[in-house]
Amino acid sequence: MTLDQLANYADIIGTVTVVGGLSFGLVQLSELRKQRRDIIAAELMRTFYSVDLADAVTLVRSLPDHCPADELRQRGYERAAVIATTSFETMGLLVFRRIADYGLVEELAGGMVTVLWRKLDAWVAAVRLEQAQPSWAEWFEWLARLAASRKNEAQPAYVAHKDWKP
pLDDT digit of tens for each residue in the chain (166 aa)? 787 777 777 788 888 888 888 888 888 888 887 777 777 777 777 776 789 999 999 999 999 999 999 999 999 999 999 999 999 998 999 899 888 889 888 888 888 999 999 999 999 999 999 999 999 999 999 999 999 988 766 677 888 888 888 8
Determine the length of the chain.
166
- SS3 of 1, please? coil
Q: What's the pTM?
A: 0.74
Convert 5-23 to b/e letters by CB count within 10 Å (16 or more is b).
eeeeeeeeeeeeeeeeeee
pLDDT of residue 31: 82
pLDDT reported for residue 126:
98
